[in-house]
Amino acid sequence: MQMPPLNSLELTGRAATHVQEVPDLGARLHADAIAAVHSLREASAAAGIDLVIVSSFRDFSRQAAIWNGKFRGVRPMLDRGGRALDAVALGEAERVRSILIWSALPGASRHHWGTDFDVYDRAAVPPGYRPELTVAEFTGTGPFVRLNEWLGANLGNHGFFRPYGTDRGGVHPEPWHLSYAPVSGHALQALTLEVLREAIESADLEGQAHVLAQLPEIYERYVVSVDTP
């Protein structure tokens, strides 16, 4: 039986009533996505790929900690070309735009829904390898090129797609980021500007005033401008 649509707290990562721990996957996922993830992983295994989830459900507090750390300059921040930035040397507006290239605004992360997660191929790297989840790992001579190609050919057969597959001028492409379309499509429609604004207004967030002032633009460019199945 399918779960009811996500409410505003679940959509913005302020509740976790829609996700379940999946020990064999090492992940927390939306209940309706679990069977499809197992199916995807079994299919990849048949192709010699050991599909491992490295980041699944992430709540608002965790996303806010990432955001605030980057804003304060205590977490690494990169430009669109992958070069390191000095956060404290940037103005507030530029700091916000730079964070959004690689990290979602708290309340707007697709990881809040339990439908989206990041993956790599454990069979393609030596034991102890720590994936960085960079484009270089998934292209050229990177270790996950075969995974990248397999995902491109097979994701749709299991209900998944890559929302950040192409560069739309907002979030940088993330070939490792998968989304379960039957749930995430409805979640994106339900995450309105008003729902997101309420979550931001009630948060302890660095750059909050600027974010709220620019929220309509941020919403259009970094939240709803994604690839579709």
Count: domains in the chain: 1
Backbone φ and ψ of 146, nearest 5°: -65, -40
CATH assignment at residue 92 = 3.30.1380.10
pLDDT tens readout for residues 90-123: 989 899 999 999 999 999 999 999 999 999 999 9
What is the residue type of 90? L
Q: Residue range 170-195: average pLDDT?
A: 97
Of 2-11, 87-96, 104-113, 169-178, the poorest mean pLDDT is in 87-96
Whether 3 maps to a domain, the answer reads no
Residue 1 pLDDT > 80: no
Residue 87 pLDDT > 90: no
What are the structure tokens assigned to 75, written together? Answer: 């977490």
pLDDT tens readout for residues 126-146: 999 999 999 999 999 999 999
Q: Give dist(CA 21, CA 57) in Å, integer.
A: 10
Instruction: Give the model's pLDDT for residue 115.
Output: 98
Mean pLDDT rounded to a whole number for the chain = 96
Of 41-45, 84-88, 117-121, 182-186, the poorest mean pLDDT is in 84-88
Whether 164 maps to a domain, the answer reads yes
Instruction: Give the model's pLDDT for residue 55.
Output: 97
Instruction: Give the model's pLDDT for residue 209.
Output: 94
Residue 125 pLDDT > 80: yes
Q: Which pLDDT band holds residue 88 (cuts at 50, 70, 90)?
A: confident
| 37-40 own/partner pairs: CB under 8 Å, 24+ apart | 37/117, 37/180, 39/158, 40/154, 40/155, 40/158, 40/160, 40/178
Instruction: Give the model's pLDDT for residue 2.
Output: 80
Whether 168 maps to a domain, the answer reads yes
Whether 33 maps to a domain, the answer reads yes
Whether 228 maps to a domain, the answer reads no
Instruction: Give the model's pLDDT for residue 8.
Output: 98
- 172, 101 Cβ separation under 8 angstroms: yes
The residue segments making up the domain with residue 216 are 8-223
What is the residue type of 207? G
Instruction: Give the model's pLDDT for residue 83.
Output: 86
Q: How far is CA 189 from CA 21, 45, 93, 220, in A?
A: 25, 33, 27, 12
Whether 2 maps to a domain, the answer reads no
Whether 206 maps to a domain, the answer reads yes
Whether 49 maps to a domain, the answer reads yes
